[in-house]
Amino acid sequence: MSSQLSAIDRRGFADRVYEALRGSVLAGEFRPGEHLVETELAERLGVSRVPVREALQKLKSEGLVEDAPGRGLCARRFSAADVADIYNLRLGLEPIAARLTTCRAEPVEPLEELIGQMRDASEEHRDVAAMTAIEMKFHRKICELSGNQILAHSFAAAAAQIQLAMSVDNDSVVDGSDLAAEHQVIVDAIAAGDPDRASRVMIEHILSTVDQVFDGMGEGEQVEEARARLLWGLREG
């Protein structure tokens, strides 16, 4: 029995190391392209290199860290094309999720609760990383409420990369109440039982956020080419 309990404890320990590193990556504590040195991370966490190495490999499989030729692993760098791909996926999944959630007349209380958490994070801490994490929970919840398990699974599989891409523009978020208001519009459309409106406002929300991400990447030919790759046909004008 003691051997089994020891194994469980080691697994739990490795999970805590993984969650700590994952949280730091998603919070934007590492610059894109920053070299992730196992010995330094292990020292900061007060652990050996083994669980750190395992955690980094798991983060690599999630697309949150990547190979740095000749230098091990580094924090994920998003190209403009990567952002276009991620947001095209969102445009393919989330408007449908909003429509299905509305048609199923799902209760909006869980979504209202998350909006309240956005406001609290803004008023109490002005913690942009926390607000972004809550925002991801909001969008994931709509996908779950859609009743389409394949859609919900697809969004969940990409959620970490979506959240990391959103962090490109974290510095521009100054008022979490605005973030809450943007999401309240989506909830109001769902609560009103208007699937067309719910789908439309979701599209508008996603397109507005990707514009902010692109703006955070600066100007350049690659950025403009990536903008052109988006499904602009969903937007008027």
d(CA 106, CA 116): 19
d(CA 91, CA 99): 13
What pLDDT does 157 receive? Answer: 93
Note the pTM of the prediction, 2 decimals.
Answer: 0.84
**Residue (of 209, 208, 212, 203) closest to 234 by Cα position:** 203
Confidence of residue 92 (pLDDT cuts 50, 70, 90): very high
Residue at 221: amino acid letter: E
**Residue (of 134, 78, 132) closest to 111 by Cα position:** 134
Mean per-residue pLDDT of the chain: 86
Under 8 Å between Cβ of 110 and 141: yes
Task: Write the pLDDT tens digit of every residue in 166-191.
Answer: 876 655 555 566 889 999 999 999 99
Under 8 Å between Cβ of 148 and 97: yes
Higher per-residue confidence, 129 vs 51: 51
What pLDDT does 173 receive? Answer: 54
Confidence of residue 237 (pLDDT cuts 50, 70, 90): very low
> SS3 for 74?
strand
Sign of the C-alpha dihedral, residues 129, 130, 133, 135? negative
Under 8 Å between Cβ of 66 and 74: yes
Contacts of 129 by beta carbon, 8 Å cutoff, 6+ apart: 26, 27, 28, 167, 170
Task: Write the pLDDT tens digit of every residue in 35-89.
Answer: 999 999 999 988 889 999 999 999 999 999 999 888 789 999 889 999 999 999 9
Domains of the chain with bracketed CATH:
2-75 (1.10.10.10), 80-234 (1.20.120.530)
Contacts of 5 by beta carbon, 8 Å cutoff, 6+ apart: none
What pLDDT does 229 receive? Answer: 81
Sign of the C-alpha dihedral, residues 103, 109, 114, 116? positive
Confidence of residue 11 (pLDDT cuts 50, 70, 90): low
Confidence of residue 1 (pLDDT cuts 50, 70, 90): very low
Q: Residue 83: in which H helix or E strand, if any?
A: helix 80-103
> SS3 for 67?
strand
Confidence of residue 127 (pLDDT cuts 50, 70, 90): confident
% of residues, the chain, pLDDT over 90: 54
Task: Write the pLDDT tens digit of every residue in 135-145.
Answer: 999 999 999 99
Under 8 Å between Cβ of 54 and 14: yes
How far are the Cα atoms of 110, 197, 228 from residue 100, in angstroms, in the given order? 16, 12, 28
Task: Write the pLDDT tens digit of every residue in 16-31.
Answer: 889 999 999 988 888 8
Backbone phi, psi, residue 105, to 5°: 55, 45
**Residue (of 92, 87, 95, 89) closest to 189 by Cα position:** 95
